[in-house]
Amino acid sequence: MNRTAAPLEKSTASPTPQSPNFIQILFNGFVDLIDRLMAPLQNLLGVQRMAYIFVLPNLLIFGIFIILPMILNLSYAFTGSTQLFPADRPFIGADNFARLFECSNFLDPNTCREDVFWRAVFNSTIFVIVQVSFMVVMALTTALALNRKIMLRAFFRSVFFYPVLLSPVVVALIWKWILQQDGLLNAVIVSLGGTRVPFLLNAEWARVWVILISVWAQMGFFTLILLAGLQAIPSELYEAASMDGASAWASFRNITLPLLMPTMTVVLVLALIRAVQVFDQVVPFTNGGPGTATTYMVQYIYNTGFTNQTREYGIAAAASVLMALILFTLTFAQLRLTRAGQNES
Amino acid sequence: MKKSYLLLSLIVVVLLAATSISVFAQDPVELRIAWYNDGNEGEVLRDLLDRFEAENSDIRVVVDTIPYDAILNQLPVQVQAGEGPDMARVTDQAAYRGYYLDMRSLVADAAYWDASFPAAALAALRLEGDETGLYGFPNQFTVSAPYINRTLFEQAGVEVPSDSMDAVTWEEWTEAAASAAQATGTPYAIAMDRSGHRFAGPMFSQGAVLFHDDGTITIDSEGFRSMAQILIDWHTRGLTPVEVWVGSGGTYSAGADFFINGQVAMYMSGSWQVGRFANDIGDAFDWEVVPNPTGPGGSTGMPGGTFMVAFSETEHPAEVARVMDYLASADVLREFSERSLFIPAHLGLGELNFATDNPLAEAALVAFANEVPKLSDQAYQLQYGGQGFAINNPIRDRLTQVIAGELTLDEAVARIQQDIDDALATAGQ
């Protein structure tokens, strides 16, 4: 290994007839300072290893804000008490996990010791299945429509993407204002002679609205991805199919769907991951209610660790480890499917 | 190149000089108070602190007004993490035990503090085994009791039960309020804040006994089930606004807006609402406080109140003690209570001249004062015994699940007991 690489080339201002101005002097001084710091370092480490110095700031940030919290979370999952600092928390082995899994019938949350955790798991499962299916279908339909030569196409593309730009809290508060008991929608219903509908006070209604609103808020993002996928399909294929007398449905089934499948896979997995993580929109919208009807896994973790008067950080950490496993599996599936798609193509 | 070094050196010297100037100028010490408002007390506090700052130019006090929910949910974590304010107004005083600043050697006259505030209140801030720590003072005493909209009762031609009877049960109040609401077309008869603390008074009145001599806590009792059933029935009969208990997810929720807007005939809350009602209801209708309904367990509300506390993480303990000394002084507390329409917890203030010409507010304060001698031992134990943190929220959340149809009352009782046992076990680890 050559450790005596040539020193960095000094950056000096090229001689000009005019005297250098203030900014130039400052810049030159700064470059010279960096040079004086880096040159000995490069001599010490060699050119090849200097790369580590340049990625060090990013590695530090990643380590402090990602890796360290993950390790801390894992350690919390195996400790008890309501104390915040790890040093004050006694090691209790897998008791937190055992408590989460203490169930006589996993299909009935009422038989589980941590019933609210299992309610959250069931709520999340139903939410993920329904919301993702509905969103992928809606996003695909919208993308197909926006891919056609329709009037005001650019305008509609903006309109469908616009909710994505809104903060989830803003989305939640706007819809809450519309749907609450004395909200806009009920005012319209009453003015038409109807009676108020408990949109946010009835468990079924609340679940439906949480799904609809999250689809409304996120669909534009996935529509955009699918639209890009649709535009990548060569138009010659459709022309050839048309010349062969293929119907629109046949073209869709045999050309569009197969060629869009890699993009669909990405959309599906991204939507799944986002659905499992649902939290920011629901808390200001229903705060998990009525009862626990719209309490999902992240909110359960948040409530258990931070809003309950008894702050059970250990249980919250154990639940988040389980959730991390689910997300890891989904991410792994995405990578495998994407890679498989790339190999096929 | 020499020129650039010279320039860089000059910039460094100028920056250092600027920093030094600000250090030598001796800016006043800045202290922060985390505060929430029920009524106008934040304005009163600011006014009092402005006077303090005028006489103590070396201290500046910033009042961070945050929602009550943040006081309950976020402040404890901040304090545990060492990121809390210097002082705070809190209601869940047990949550911060061990994190308070002991001001006994810092305040001007610790004996004044011991003599001026109830010993039980000062002890409520101490960890077990600590008998001398001086961590704060109660700056407001509260009592829970129901309000009624008397105008609605009169318009309905329904007699207010407590006008003719000394002891009125919750069942009798429910029927009277339902009749008043029905006759006047008022949307709801009765409301209660979504809070374990608010439910506790009626629960004890109905005969519930939580705390036993052997130190155990039992939730299952006739009294608890009786009051729980009354609350559930209010919902099934459509007598109460569902939004309060079912529509607010897992947090505290008050029914005050329904009462202020004349949408409910009877409202179970507490003395901290007097100032707000005096301001917000105005002369829209006549409101008053009625005695806590009576049952086998008596006629008790819940004691409560807010504490002004100081935290040990402060970088300026001496200055914090000076501010706390000022806020705990008799004259300041008197003015604070009179202008905020709060019942003081100071033992030596004597008769107060509340700053209101609203006879309804004055009568309400008297009515609340009359409730104090009726408070039961169980109620005091729940509020100051240090175990309320494990009891109040499970009662609130599990009863909500019953109302929402997720649990039966039997299941809820078992769940509450388990939640309490788990919480105490976790806290004791």
A278-289 per-position pLDDT tens digit:
999 999 999 998
Among candidate residues A180, A169, A178, A204, the one with its CA nearest the CA of residue A282: A169
Contact B404 A28 (CB under 8 A): no
Say whether pLDDT at A240 is over 80.
Answer: yes
Which of B231, B212, B233 has the alpha carbon at shortest distance from B221?
B212
For B16, the token pair is 């250092």
pLDDT at A340 over 80: no
pLDDT of residue A25: 87
Does residue B21 form part of some domain?
no
A100 domain-assigned: no
**Structural domains counted in chain B:** 2
Q: Is residue A15 situated within a structural domain?
A: no
Residues B170 and B120 in one domain: no
pLDDT at A131 over 80: yes
Claim to verify: residue A194 and residue A68 sit in the same structural domain: no
Does residue B342 contact residue B278 with C-beta atoms inside 8 Å?
no
Residue B84 and residue B104 in one domain: yes
Domain count, chain A: 2
Chain position carrying tokens 């040539």: A6
Q: Which of A41-55, A191-205, A327-341 has the lowest mean pLDDT?
A: A327-341
pLDDT at B1 over 80: no
Q: Which range of residues forms the domain containing residue B107?
A: 28-141+304-340
Same domain, yes or no, for A34 and A118?
Answer: no
What contacts A153, CB < 8 A, 6 or more positions away? A146
Question: Does B149 map to a domain?
Answer: yes
Same domain, A184 and A278: yes
Looking at residues B133-155, what average pLDDT do you find? 95
Instruction: Render pLDDT for A58-88 as a digit per residue (tens, 0 to 9).
Output: 999 999 999 999 999 999 999 998 888 888 8
Instruction: Assess whether pLDDT exceeds 60 at residue A7.
Output: no
Is the pLDDT assigned to residue B411 strictly greater than 80?
A: yes
Q: Are B174 and B282 in the same domain? A: yes
User: Would you say residue A83 lies in a domain?
Assistant: no
Residues A132 and A37 in one domain: no
Give per-residue pLDDT as tens, B2-12: 555 555 565 65
DSSP B160: P
Asked whether residue A33 is domain-assigned, the answer is: yes
**Reported ipTM exceeds the 0.85 cut:** no
Q: Would you place residue B343 in the very low, low, confident or very high pLDDT band (cuts 50, 70, 90)?
A: confident
- Cα B315 to Cα A182, B82, B323: the distances in Å are 48, 11, 14
Determine the distance in angstroms separating the CA of A25 from the nearest CA of chain B, rounded to an integer.
Answer: 5
Same domain, A54 and A189: no
B interface with A, Cβ–Cβ < 8 A, is 1, 3-5, 7-8, 72-74, 76-77, 80-81, 92, 95, 241-243, 246-251, 389-390, 392-393, 400-401, 403-407, 411, 415, 418, 422-423, 426-427, 429
Asked if residue B407 and residue B316 are part of one domain, the reply reads no
B427–A310 CB contact, under 8 Å: yes
Instruction: Examine the pLDDT at A14 and tell me if it is beyond 60.
Output: no
Q: Which residues of B touch A307 (CB under 8 A)?
A: 72-73, 250-251
- A150/A28 same-domain check: no
Question: Tell me, what's the pLDDT at B3?
Answer: 56
pLDDT in tens, B18-55: 555 554 556 899 999 999 998 889 999 999 999 999 99
Domain assignment present for residue B7? The answer is no
Do A72 and A170 share a domain, yes or no? no
Average pLDDT over residues A206-234: 94
In a domain, B383, yes or no: yes
Residues A142 and A188 in one domain: yes
Please indicate, yes or no, whether residues A61 and A122 belong to a single structural domain of this protein: no
| Domain-located, residue A198 | yes
Shared-domain flag, residues B265 and B380 = yes
User: Across residues B138-152, what is the average pLDDT?
Assistant: 95
Same domain, A57 and A201: no
Partner residue facing A32 (CB), from B1, B74, B251: B1
Q: Which residues contact B53 (CB under 8 A, 6 or more apart)?
A: B59, B60, B61
In a domain, A16, yes or no: no
Q: How many beta-carbon pairs under 8 angstroms link A with B?
A: 114
Q: Is residue B2 part of a domain?
A: no
Please tell me the distance in Å from B420's CA to the nearest CA on chain A: 10
Domain of A36 in residue numbering reads as 22-42+49-77
Asked which of A170-179, B169-178, B241-250, B294-303 is least confident by mean pLDDT, the reply is B241-250
Among B309, B342, B424, smallest CA distance to B143 is for B342
Predicted pLDDT of residue A175: 95
* CATH code at position A332: 1.10.3720.10
- Cβ pair A289:B246 closer than 8 A: yes
B349 in a domain, yes or no?
no
- Nearest Cα to B125, choosing from B249, B361, B305? B305
Indicate if A142 and A200 belong to the same structural domain. Answer: yes
With residue A119 as reference, give the H or E element that holds it. Answer: helix A115-147
Distance CA B241, CA B249 (A): 14
Residue range B170-199, pLDDT digits in tens: 999 999 999 999 999 999 999 999 999 999
Of A85, A293, A307, the CB nearest to B73: A307
Of the listed ranges A39-43, A117-121, B261-265, the one predicted with least confidence = A39-43
Last residue of a domain, one of B321, B340, B359: B340
Same domain? A202 vs A298 = yes
Mean pLDDT of chain A: 89
B76-116 pLDDT per residue, tens: 989 988 999 999 999 988 889 999 999 999 999 999 999 99
User: Residue B236 maps to which CATH number?
Assistant: 3.40.190.10
Cβ neighbors of B71 (< 8 A, separation 6 or more) are: B34, B36, B88, B89, B90, B91, B92
